[in-house]
A and B are shown apart, each in its own frame.
Chain A
Amino acid sequence: MFNYYIKLAFNSFKRNPILTGLMITAIALGIGASMTTITVNYLMSADPIPEKSSQLFHVQVDSWDPNHGFNDEPNTPPNQLTWTDATNLMSAKKAFRQTAMAKSGAIIQPSSPDINPFEASIRLAFKDFFPMFNVPFKYGNGWDQQADDDRQLVVVLSKEINDKVFAGENSVGNSIVIFGQSFRVIGVLDAWQPLPKFYDVNNGAFDEPEDLFMPFYLKQELELPNWGNTNCWKTPEGEGFTAFLQSECINFQMWVELKTPQDKQAYMSFLNNYVNDQKELGRFPRPLNNQLLNVMQWMDDQDVVADDAQIMMWLSFMFLVVCLLNTIGLQLAKFSAKSGEIGLRRAVGATKRDLFMQYTVETGAVGFAGGLFGLVLALLGLIGIRQLYGEVLNDLASLDLTMIALALVLSLLASICAGLYPTWRACNIAPASQLKSQ
């Protein structure tokens, strides 16, 4: 019977093209608006590293002002670390993998005279950065412990920088001048765009990864500038770069990989002991308040999904409801015009269940068509968002297969729900009253 119902649905579309067109348009508008905002929210809140997001933990220790909590929140530890804490925690090597990080930038001077010097962003990190975050390599590898310890001038290039400076060739072993120093290229990344950029959300959760990756201690060695957010609760004691590194200013992030809950518990004990030791040295004036949040907890804690994006999503759902209410009205009108046919079908033996199935299939077909049209509108909406917000949301404005399937299922369910009342009414039409009047 399903095929029969599909055939009847198409007959019905042909009989009432305007009403059907209006219903499809109403559903498409609602689905288009909803899918646009759902897609942005979905991509914003996606797990950027699902295979191990529950084993990666962002390290926070509360080194902040005794009189005011970080961001005036009494129970929130700072979202970054001081140089002192980052290097101390790294030296302890208490986690399976660990990396402190900082963002910086410098001028690259390509050897080719055809390419002008340009500014590039730098991620300063430890060797574990690459295996911890499953960073893909096109050529070569990351550096080793020796390079970290010896502060070697080695660099890993992003794919884009390698394309630009070395025309996409395997540049491993080549030299490149950065910040006036000659670095040896030891690796080139493949395309890599974690969304959100979870390892450093407080410096732009949807920014591109950095252009260059180099050992962390080069920050101190070369006195590389601070990029990204730097917060201080008291003025550094003294002038200059070394004073900044010794201050209570926070500009460094740290992640650890802990494979089991026991490992996490042990690492937390280590952190608490570390802070207690520091308290004895006159630091950490606030109560003990250390935190280890895994990737998704950290995304949530940092409000990676912007409030206005969520508000937009709920508004679009309300718009969808309005569109569905319109669809209900149109469906009532359509079924009202069919009351003669409904009476006839009942008279010749259709049960209420038969009619319910027939009209549910018809409503579902309208919903499916509305979903397809809605997908086109959603694509247009996402293009509009890209135009509006530029590169920031470039990677968030695309529909994947999951979203396409969701759009069609949402459209189908929404239209069937909207059709329930009209369908129920249609099934309960008294056949006798319709047969005489037709």
Chain B
Amino acid sequence: MLTMKDIKKIYRTDSIETHALRDFNLHVNEGDFVAVTGPSGSGKTTFLNIAGLLETFEEGRFELDGVDISHQNDAARSRLRNQKIGFVFQSFNLIPDLNLFDNVDVPLRYRGFSRQERKKRIEHNLEMVGLGNRMKHLPAQLSGGQQQRVAIARALAGEPRFLLADEPTGNLDSSMAQSVMALLKDINANGTTIIMVTHDAGLATQANRNIHVSDGKVSEKAMSLSPEAAQFKPSQHKRVVGLSE
């Protein structure tokens, strides 16, 4: 489903070359919940950016859902991002002057859905994350955990195959982090493949697969799964997830 083979990524300035990824190899199956851990500067975010088609790479081969990414131009990568990938960021990245409805609407606008279809999806996803009654609120009127749930609703509105989460609980306190994690697990259980970068080993153990990135390379941990993660099986049918803090 997602296959990276010998990916090499180098950042260059006038005098410095930084090898962010070298011989990076990874295969992610449909329905996986992959936690990516590693020290700062190890290449986790670079990997996630390449996986999310936000950055290009120098060498190697990357296939996403059967599409060879190295041959896609910028517009095609934008379309792929729009159709197949949802993003959740540490700092939520909501647009401050748009209300929740309009924030969730952003990716759908670029998808070309009808007004009716967009409305249906926005309302469904905001209901799913427990914010159906606050659609006209601005992000600043919400707590951090609520903002992250809006970001998750936005990521899911287009029904992507992949959800890429970069430190999704990094700005949240532990109880909010747990509720967001529970939401992500429910989403994964509904069939969405999730790749989550995290520094939190405790959260990583809740994923059903854990990889460690160090010096731009993957070292997959044969870690023992937590009891919750062990029970974790992607289902074939989506369901509505309710959440409250």
A-side interface residues toward B, CB under 8 Å?
1, 4, 11-12, 14-15, 340-341, 343-354, 430-432, 435-436, 438
Contact = CB atoms under 8 A, between A and B. Distances in A.
A348 B106 CA distance: 8
A432 B74 contact: no
Contacts of B78: 346, 349-352, 354
Contacts of A432: 45, 49, 54-55
Interface in B127-181: 154, 158, 166
B98 interface: yes
Nearest to B46: A432
Contact of A349 (B83, B90, B91, B97): B83
Given A11-B97, A354-B110, A348 B81 contact: yes
Closest 9 CB pairs of A and B: A349-B82, A348-B107, A432-B54, A349-B110, A432-B49, A351-B78, A344-B93, A351-B75, A15-B97
A340 B74 contact: no
Contact of A4 (B74, B79, B109): B109
B93 A438 contact: yes
A348 B82 contact: yes
B87 interface: yes
Contacts of A344: 93, 95, 106
Contacts of B111: 349
A346 B110 CA distance: 10
Contact of B93 (A1, A4, A340): A340
Nearest to A16: B97
Contacts of A351: 74-75, 78-79, 110
B110 A435 contact: no
B39 interface: no
Interface in B14-46: 45
B89 interface: yes
A344 B52 CA distance: 12
Nearest to B96: A15
Nearest to B155: A348
A352 B75 contact: yes
A435 B79 contact: no
A163 B75 CA distance: 72
A71 B131 CA distance: 86
Interface in B66-96: 74-75, 78-79, 81-83, 87, 89-91, 93, 95-96
Given A344-B106, A348-B107, A435 B75 contact: no
Given A4-B109, A347-B81, A348-B154, A435 B54 contact: yes
Contacts of B45: 432, 436
Nearest to A345: B106
Contacts of B97: 11-12, 14-15
Contacts of A430: 54-55
A4 B106 CA distance: 10
Contact of B79 (A340, A343, A349, A431): A349
A340 B139 CA distance: 15
Given A354-B110, A431-B54, 14 more contacts: A1-B109, A341-B95, A344-B95, A347-B52, A348-B154, A349-B81, A349-B107, A349-B110, A350-B110, A351-B74, A351-B79, A352-B74, A435-B54, A438-B89
Most central of B75, B79, B97 by chain A CB within 10 Å: B97
A427 to B, nearest CB: 10
A14 to B, nearest CB: 6
Nearest to B48: A432
A351 B74 CA distance: 7
B159 to A, nearest CB: 13
Contacts of A350: 78, 82, 110
9 contacts: A11-B97, A349-B110, A350-B110, A351-B75, A351-B78, A352-B74, A354-B78, A354-B110, A438-B89
